[in-house]
Amino acid sequence: MRLNRNTIKRGTVWQKVILGVSLLMVGIDSGAHAIEGSPTLNLPSDPISFQKGSGSNIASTYCLICHSAEYIYTQPPHPQMRWTEIIKKMKHTFGCPIPDEQIPPLAQYLFSQNNVQPAPFAKKFATLSEGSNDQTGNTDKGKVVYESYCVNCHGHSGKGDGPIGKSIVPPAADLTAVGKKSDTTLLKTIRNGKPGTAMPSWKNDLAPKEISDVLTYIRSLSGQHQHGS
């Protein structure tokens, strides 16, 4: 597979490692001409998300480990059997932690997306400014968001013990220990990601209300309530 800045646009540390190695191997200038310490690759956020439908949560949980949603939507319209083969290759060759029982529904979902051309969601996510702080999060709705997007790294308990949480460098954060951090700080991290870690930006994947909801749920993991800056 050919890798460049246009085919892979957002993701976790695995994506950054793959892209970084590829850029170095083919001699592409990544902005770090001299090797002094560790070069940093700043990847833009994915402008689109997986469209709603049965299996979309599985796609968001496992495909986004290495690929952007935009990358998936630029693939040829594969038959469902071919999608199954591709998913199995991702699992057995590249280490995707998807359970076997979730491969058929994911293949069916990806097949259903063959002819879908989602539009960028920029307008949807432009309603909340970086400095604003929505205090109206819903814990139950936040749990749904968390289990769809966060559990792979942070784990069901929030302690950073998800399927890949301890294997990334640095390890995924323990969300039960964020009591001293303000809502403003946490909201900024969720929206923009955290440089130097596998924490990506979610502002192009989650609506402002979903970000507030997931923050409220994160607070509940340690029995906390949202608090101001």
Contacts of 20 (CB under 8 A, 6+ apart): 30, 39, 41
User: Which amino acid is it at 228?
Assistant: G
HSE of 30 in the Cβ direction (CA atoms, 13 Å)?
A: 23
109: confidence class by pLDDT, cuts 50, 70, 90: very high
Average pLDDT, integer, range 117-126 = 52
**Same-domain check for residues 100 and 164:** no
Position 1 in a domain: no
Average pLDDT, integer, range 128-153 = 76
Domain count along the chain = 2
HSE of 18 in the Cβ direction (CA atoms, 13 Å)?
A: 18
Report the CATH number at residue 106.
Answer: 1.10.760.10
Position 121 in a domain: no
**Same-domain check for residues 157 and 82:** no
Residue 178 DSSP one-character state: -
pLDDT at 122: 40
Question: What are the structure tokens assigned to 131, written together?
Answer: 């400095």
Domain holding 93, by residue range, is 13-112
Position 132 in a domain: no
**Same-domain check for residues 152 and 103:** no
Position 208 in a domain: yes
